[in-house]
Amino acid sequence: MRIHGSKSPWPGFNCGVTEDEFLSVELAIKRQVHYNGWFTEESVRNSLLNLGNWLTREQLINWTSSYSFTENPKVVAVIMAGNIPLVGFHDFLCVLISGNKIQCKLSSDDNKLLPLLSNYLIQFSTELKEFISFSDRNLSAFDAVIATGSNTSLVNFESYFSKYPHLFRHNRTSVAILDGTETKEELKALGEDVLNYFGRGCRNVTHLLIPENYDLNRFFEAIVVSGEVVNNKKYGNNYDYNKTIHLLNLESFLDNNFLLLKKSDNLFSPLAMLYYHSYKSQEEITAYLEMHKDSIQCVVGHDYLAFGTAQCPSLSDYADNVDTMVWLNNL
C-alpha cells in the first residue's frame, strides 16, 4: 500500500505481486475520480500511504499484543461509509486480525479499492479467502454488525440490526484550538487538517476555537498553499454555492477565494466553510468540548493532537472512542 501511496514503480517480485497485478491497482487508483469526483488520485494515494504505515510487523505486534483472539470465528457484517477513500479499512483489519470473518457492505461511493486490496492480501494468505466476502445485496447469515453512516442512517441501522450485537457510528467532526502562539508551519498544517480529502472526513476540522482578538489573516496566509483545492469541481461548486447564499442573505464571513470562515458556535460547518468562535478562558474551552463530546472525533492544537495529524490516526485511535478490538473479543 505504501508503494502505491508514494506513486513508486513496481519494485519487482519481492513485493509479492506480479507487475500486471500491481499495474491493475495503479490503473484503479487513477480511475477512481471517474466513479467518484471526490476521489482524486492524490486523495486515494494519500489514504493508501497513511493506511500502509500501519501495516508493518512492529506496528501490528504492538497494537495487538494486549488483545486475545477467537478460535471460533463469528461472521461480522460491516457496513462501510464512502466519504473518503478506504474509510472502512480499519474495521476490515480489526475483524480479520481478531480471527473473525467479515462480510463487507461497501458504499457505492467507494466499492472498488477494498476488493482489489483484499486480492492482494489473499496472495499472501490464501486461507483468508474463506474469511472475506463482499455483498452488494441484503446482508445475511451474520452474527454481529458494525455500521457507519450519517445520523439519518443510524435510525435505519437501529431498525434493522439492533437485535444483533452491534457497533453503530454516526456523524462526528473535529475541532482545533488555537492559543495565538502557533507558528506559520503549524497553521499551514492546520490547513491540511481542514482540507485533506476536501474536508469530508470525521477527522477533518470544521470548527476553530480562537482567543479574543486573534488575527485570522495569519491562518489565511499560512494556508495559501492549499488554494488548488478549489479547482476540484465538486469542492468548487460547494464553495460557490455557500458563498452565494451568504452574500444573498447579507451574512458576514471571511473569504480567501477557496475557503469561507464564519463566526458561529455551531460545530458542523458546510463543505468549503470553516466555523470559528472566540473564547476568554480555558473553562470556556472545556465547556464547549464537554457540550459536544458525543459529536467530536478528535481535537487538534497545543496539548492535543499535533497540527497536521488529524487524518493520520494510529491503529489504536478508534472511531467514536470505542475500542473495536475489545468489542470483537467480547462477541
pLDDT (tens digit, 0 to 9) for every residue of the chain, 331 residues total? 888 999 998 988 887 788 888 899 999 999 999 999 999 999 999 999 999 999 999 999 999 999 988 889 999 999 999 999 999 999 999 999 999 999 999 999 999 999 999 988 898 889 999 999 998 888 889 999 999 998 888 999 999 999 999 999 999 999 999 999 999 999 999 999 999 999 999 999 999 999 999 999 999 999 999 999 999 999 999 999 999 999 999 999 999 999 999 999 999 999 999 999 999 999 999 999 999 999 999 999 999 999 999 999 999 999 999 999 999 999 8
Nine-digit cell at 325?
A: 478490538
Which superfamily does 2-171 belong to?
A: Aldehyde Dehydrogenase; Chain A, domain 1 (3.40.605.10)
Q: What is the DSSP string of 175-220?
A: EEE--S---HHHHHHHHHHHHGGGG-STTSEEEEEEETT--THHHH
* Contacting residues for 108 by C-beta, under 8 A, at least 6 apart: 82
The 101-105 sheet, strands edge to edge: 132-135, 101-105, 75-79, 144-148, 166-169
CATH number of 173-301, picked from 3.50.30.60, 3.30.565.10, 3.40.309.10, 3.40.50.1820:
3.40.309.10
Domain ranges across the chain: 2-171, 173-301
